[in-house]
Amino acid sequence: MSSTRSNLLQSVIEAHGGREYWESIQSLNVEFEFSGVALDMKGHPGPHDVELVVNTKSQKVTIKRFGDYYGSWTPTQTEVGKLGSEDPVDVRKNPRDVFDDYTAETKWDVHNLFWFVGYAYWNYFNFPFYLDAPEIQTGEVDGPTRENGEKWTSLEVVFPDGYPTHTKVQKYDFDGEYRLMRMHYSVDVMKRHVPSWHNCYNHAVAGKLLYPTLRVVSSASPGMAFFSPFTLRGIKIEVNHI
């Protein structure tokens, strides 16, 4: 990583609304359609209509609707309920630990699903502001990406052990306006350890907050064709201020 960490990250933060504006936000209401063949593989075929409240002050996502279910995610607990049911929500403590004994072929229950989408959504919609935390290492990667003749810059991120995210080391690509265009990672809980390219399109603004309205993940596995495991389509964000 180069030594220009702060310059690139701060430019990205400013392009996404700025730190002062972000500090005025309490939470985000988010809606979109979630689909992809990986959901079929894990036993939860879509598409699913998703409604969330994403907390910006702590790591919490309230899942108002995920298909037929609702609940919540934090790093230490998932809650799952069935929409229309009077039964109390089911609680699982330390939901990440369950994945330790899983294989790539293991089907997921709804708690597994909510762990995965909970941390993923929290990171996606709190981006890029949480990257400025002192425990997260960031730096500009030498050799910017060029896509369709356009010069992109890239930020490499190293998360601390145990941080709720896809994998420890990830890379983020930005266009000339510092819009997030692509994320590079693998997904540890999928147990396949294959690279994914998470592409972002059709950026919009909620208040001052910049965000993509379409996210398409692409991947390739040995013996499998290039495919799209996940798509977030029609993303809409409403900002809730303090």
Which DSSP helix (H) or strand (E) runs through 46? none
Extents of the domains making up the chain: 5-237
Report how far apart, in Å, the C-alpha atoms of 176 and of each of 8, 139, 199 are: 11, 17, 16
What gap in Å lies between CA 24 and CA 208, rounded to an integer? 11
206 CB contacts (<8 Å, ≥6 apart)? 28, 237, 238, 239
Structure tokens at 68: 């037929």
Q: In this predicted model, what pLDDT tens digit does every residue of 127-158 receive, in sequence order?
A: 999 999 999 999 999 767 777 788 899 999 99
For the domain made up of 5-237, the CATH class stated in words is mainly beta
68 CB contacts (<8 Å, ≥6 apart)? 82, 83
100 CB contacts (<8 Å, ≥6 apart)? none
What gap in Å lies between CA 49 and CA 70, rounded to an integer? 11
Q: Which pLDDT does position 226 carry in this prediction?
A: 66
What gap in Å lies between CA 128 and CA 107, rounded to an integer? 32
225 CB contacts (<8 Å, ≥6 apart)? none
Q: In this predicted model, what pLDDT tens digit does every residue of 66-85 receive, in sequence order?
A: 999 999 999 999 999 999 99
Q: In this predicted model, what pLDDT tens digit does every residue of 2-34 receive, in sequence order?
A: 434 469 999 999 999 999 999 999 999 999 999
